[in-house]
Structure 1
Amino acid sequence: MRKSINNGNVTWLDEGEGAPVVLIHGFSENAGLWEIQTAWLKAHYRVIIPDLPGTAAAPLSTPLTIESMAEYVYAILLAEDIKTAVIIGHSMGGYIALALAEKYPQLLKGLGLFHSTAKADSEEKKEGRRKSIKLMEEYGGETFLRQTLPNMFSPVAKASDPDLVNVYIKMGMECQLPALVAYYEAMRDRPDRTAVLKSINVPVLFIIGKDDNAVPLDNVLPQITLPRISSIHIFENVGHMGMWEIVAPSNVILQDFVTFCQL
């Protein structure tokens, strides 16, 4: 069921019943990213999937930051009177989940970093984002997405199911250029939040692809020992899109993690 508040400026999907789990999408994505996982999890849990500002379902709000998007998700939880939840984010969604964990630690029963990192962008990465923003502004969002999004998948995934890339690009094209630029600026300017992993008192899930070009293995590995309790899954022949590249394993991992967090 799609819901909204603030005259439709904040929107989300609400599926299933039980202990709540929040799934946060990343750059150029929307709630549809988690469609398969939602269908799996809603048999056991209540699944909340926000459409972040700038998606087709939710207008862009300015200024847009990782922190403002965390407040956007928090507003949804307040509207639903959800006091605690397992919060799992993909890529940029993980940055938002970390911002929530930092400001509202009492909210979390578990934190999931699905191809995501607590580290800030390196100077090299920031410069890459600046160049990408210029590319988007000069040639348009579609050109950028068609050039960039195929790299989110492993070579194996692209070879075995090339339609996945096209579906992902189509999803990205639902975001307007101002939103794509705002997301890149928000990611570029986010602070380092490795301290959150050191202080967190709930289980933390790490899902890592060895072929992930966006959040490489060597970026995340030093973080997996920081939390008190970590659940770590590293996959061969998986890029940045494990929820689509390895559907069955990712579904089971998410369900098992959410179940563990209820203990």
Structure 2
Amino acid sequence: MAFANINDHRIHYEDTGGEGLPIVFSHGFLMDQAMFDPQVAALADDYRCITWDERGFGQTECKGPFSYWDSASDLIGLLDHLGIDQAVLVGMSQGGYLSLRATLANPDRVKALVLIDSQAAADTPEEREGFQAMHDAWIEYGPIDAVAGGIADLILGPGIDQHEWLVRWRFRPPAMLTEPFNTLVGRDDITDRLGEIKCPVLIFHGGEDQAIPMERAEQVRDAVADCAGIVVVEGAAHAPNLSHPEAVNGPLAEFLAGIN
């Protein structure tokens, strides 16, 4: 267990070390660095795998309002802390939001970008309304099964073992969700800047994702300069790297070998 003081926040991270190409994994909303355990287990022999808890999640504090540009700065600050000049960024959902912004703000620090069920667009008013309803229920009732179970179905998909994450959520004070939620629904639309991204990009998207439609992934694919394509993970919901790790790890390893 390790911590770094970055941008006036105490940020928790894990680092496998080694001399391999560094990969920084950034997790999705409500999740934490452990969501990439299947990828770290598959890649750590050949790559330096770094996972971290973003503001307000896991063991990282949140001191007030922030944007995903701030989170991107946290990521680059973590690279500085670890003495890493350049890394591959892997981001799932909100982890992709901040990884996209880190790539735009610091293109020389990013060797390649991997997005898992993410997007460059802001949410539509209808999407924000739905997320607001989930947030309000979480704040009012806490992560009871009726609330957290539905969100777990959205992220992991029905029929997937959700126990570990439901337990983690029960120990999380509901009020801690508010600032990260405000960041999520208040983020800016960076679609018109995607053409600035010149590094290699690979996209994964769950075939059954109900949180982010496939066309958002296609939008990124069509706009960036060097995209290896979209790997559609059939049967997966919003977090295919957790629910269907074999379908993600193979193409991810192949992509990494090609850029290494």
Pairwise same-fold verdict (TM > 0.5): yes
Aligned residues: 255
Conservation of the 8 A alpha-carbon contact between 1:202 and 1:261:
no
Structure 2 partner of 1:26: 28
Give the letter for the 1:226 counterpart.
Answer: A
Q: Which residue number in structure 2 is paired with residue 260 of structure 1?
A: 258
Deviations 1:3-47 (A, max 9, x none): 212298112000142111100011111111111111111111101
Structure 1 stretch displaced more, 237-246 or 7-16: 7-16
- Other-structure match for 1:238: 236
Equivalence for 1:152: 155
1:108 alignment partner AA: V
Partner of 2:128: 126
State the alpha-carbon separation in 2 of the partners of residues 30 and 133 from structure 1: 18
* 8 Å CA contact 1:198, 1:228 repeated in 2: yes
- Give the structure 1 partner of residue 214 of structure 2: 217
Q: For residues 246 and 129 of structure 1, what CA distance do their matches in structure 2 show?
A: 25
Give the whole-Å Cα distance in 2 for the aligned partners of 1:124 and 1:14: 39
Quote the residue 2:62 is aligned against.
Answer: 60
Deviations 1:160-217 (A, max 9, x none): xx4x222232233344323322222111111112234211111111101110011121
Q: What is the identity, as a one-letter code, of the residue corresponding to 2:207? A: K
- Match of residue 15 from structure 2: 14
In the TM superposition, 1:23-172 aligns within 5 A as 23-142=25-144, 144-155=147-158, 158=159, 162=160, 164-172=161-169
Q: Deviations over 1:30-74 (max 9, x none)?
A: 111111111111111101111112223222231232122222222
Which residue type is aligned with residue 174 of structure 2? Answer: L
**Deviation digits for residues 48-106 of structure 1, max 9, x if unmatched?**
11111222322223123212222222221110111111101011100010111121111
Regions of 4+ moved over 6 Å: none
Residue of structure 2 in register with 1:178 after alignment:
175
61-70 vs 141-150, greater mean Cα deviation = 141-150
Native 8 Å contact 1:136 1:181 kept in 2: no
Q: Which runs of 5+ in 2 are unaligned?
A: none
CA RMSD of aligned residues (A): 1.9
Q: Distance in 2 between matches of 1:221 and 1:63?
A: 31
Task: Give the TM-score normalised by the residue count of structure 1.
Answer: 0.89
Instruction: Using the TM superposition, give the Cα deviation of residue 245 of structure 1 relative to its aligned residue in structure 2, in angstroms.
Output: 2.0
Q: Distance in 2 between matches of 1:173 and 1:252?
A: 33
Is it true that 1:202 corresponds to 2:199 in the alignment?
yes
Aligned-pair identity (%): 25
* Unaligned segments of structure 1, at least 5 residues: none
Of 127-136 and 29-38, deviating more is 127-136
26-35 vs 62-71, which deviates more? 62-71
Query: What amino acid maps onto 2:240 in structure 1?
Result: G
Amino acid at match of 1:228: A
Q: Distance in 2 between matches of 1:250 and 1:86?
A: 16
Residues 1:235 and 1:249: Cα distance change in structure 2 (over 3 Å): closer
| Contact 1:98/1:196, CA 8 A, preserved across alignment | no
Tell me how far apart the structure 1 counterparts of residues 144 and 190 of structure 2 sit (CA, whole Å).
31
| Residue 188 of structure 2 is aligned to residue 191 of structure 1 | yes
